[in-house]
A and B are shown apart, each in its own frame.
Chain A
């Protein structure tokens, strides 16, 4: 998982990005730059646009205006090969979205074999290694329906890593999990972060943010309200909205 940083611009660059769902301005004038090897945690109340924000990065959502430059390529530019760019971006979904008709190993090797054109034997060896790395060496031939939520999400992370991406995006990766399974997924994410992956993580897991994030971005009503180091953000939130949000999630 090496991370070359060829350009002076960020790995992910939002410049005045706006997006609407009908009349609703879901992303308001977003400007944000994520450096190579940086880990950014995005938090905020539900409906604040944080999922939409990271879904724009790999083109699952399109932006209305502004510029979004990912790995040196401008999204929406005819010269940008979106399928090619997506191979450099891993995306972990809240609901895992593993392929139910394929085993854990087949889930991991599908894109390397068909998109990266890696020989099957080589892809399978890499896939086994990755599944071992996320602690699932014994589940290689299991189908998703035979795995717990935490195990499924770890397979999903391995599936992304199989493509050797430059960027990993996580959309509330632990929100659909039973509490006792959250840490096994966070541990894997910490390991990925420590290897130097550029990451954007939508999560309310403040322990994870404190441990590996260089920056916490707080969103509300489609706008970035506050941004700072985890230490600053958690101990001295600057706005009323972030204070109100933190008091809600830290109450329990």
Chain B
């Protein structure tokens, strides 16, 4: 019986690959966008403008304080009520990017705050512009603090992407749901789904660990 199930599972591999591809695609696009947006927000968050900083802070708290599933439903089912029609993929990307940006914003802000005031004063005293101070002095030092938790966050976000199956995207998790209807062995099917996620996440887990070890070694800057 288990043999039959395995054979039947083997027949589902094109579907599984599609699901894996969707998971990787969703994660990749939203992590790249989320990282860019998160760095921008993190820089603004610490930029000294009270209003901007507290608006970003409130948004980040809101997103961190509500379930991701609810956020996806809001974007996918509520926005159309206001005339904004999104396909499931776009809605998924928007929701994941926003989530990633909010977590990364806080990581980046913490990194920037960890750079001693004296560094900024030295850069200020030599006439560097605001952007030059950020680019040349603050960010390279902040990256030491930022990189390990950033990569760790990527792992969490890849796993969070499984929630998009709820709005009908055929990602790895949804493939599991589809297959289990044909092969009634939930343990086996979702074990394999788990393996799929692990294969994507494990290299990142290794990278995070490596970066953490390197943090102490470099001269204030992490070289990849």
Chain A interface residues (CB < 8 Å from chain B) = 58, 60, 83-84, 86-87, 89-91, 93, 95, 97-101, 110-111, 114-115, 143-146, 159-160, 163
Is B128 part of the binding interface, using a Cβ–Cβ cutoff of 8 Å? yes
Interface size class of B (residues with CB under 8 A): 20 to 34
Chain A residues within an 8 Å CB radius of B126: 86-87, 91, 110-111, 115, 159-160, 163
- Given contact pairs A93-B122, A95-B118, A101-B219, A84 touches B136 in the complex (Cβ within 8 A): no
Q: Indicate if B221 sits at the interface (CB-CB under 8 A).
A: yes
On whether the beta carbons of A99 and B127 are closer than 8 Å, the reply is no
4 closest A-B pairs by beta carbon, nearest first, are A100-B220, A101-B220, A101-B221, A87-B127
Q: Given the known inter-chain contacts A101-B140, A101-B221, A114-B136, please indicate yes or no for A58 contacting B125, CB distance below 8 A.
A: yes
Q: Which residues in window 125-157 of B have CB below 8 A to A?
A: 125-129, 132, 136-137, 140-141
CB distance from A74 to the nearest CB of B (A): 18
| Residues of chain A lying within 8 A (CB to CB) of residue B119 | 97, 99
In angstroms, Cα B119 to Cα A93, docked, is: 10
Tell me how far the C-beta of B139 lies from the nearest C-beta in chain A, rounded to whole angstroms: 10
Within the assembled complex, what's the spacing in Å between the Cα atoms of A97 and B124? 12
- The majority secondary structure among interface residues of chain B is helix
Q: Is B127 a contact partner of A86 (Cβ separation < 8 A)?
A: yes
Residues of chain B contacted by A146 (CB below 8 angstroms): 219
Q: List 26 A-B contacts (CB under 8 A).
A: A60-B121, A83-B129, A86-B125, A87-B127, A91-B121, A91-B126, A93-B121, A95-B118, A97-B116, A97-B121, A98-B122, A99-B136, A99-B137, A99-B141, A100-B219, A101-B219, A101-B221, A111-B127, A114-B128, A114-B132, A115-B127, A115-B129, A115-B132, A145-B219, A159-B126, A163-B126
Residues of A within 8 A of B132 (CB): 114-115
Q: Given the complex, which residues of B lie within 8 Å of A97, measured CB to CB?
A: 116, 118-119, 121-122
| Interface bits B95-138 vs A (CB < 8 Å: 1, else 0) | 00000000000000000000010110111111111001000110
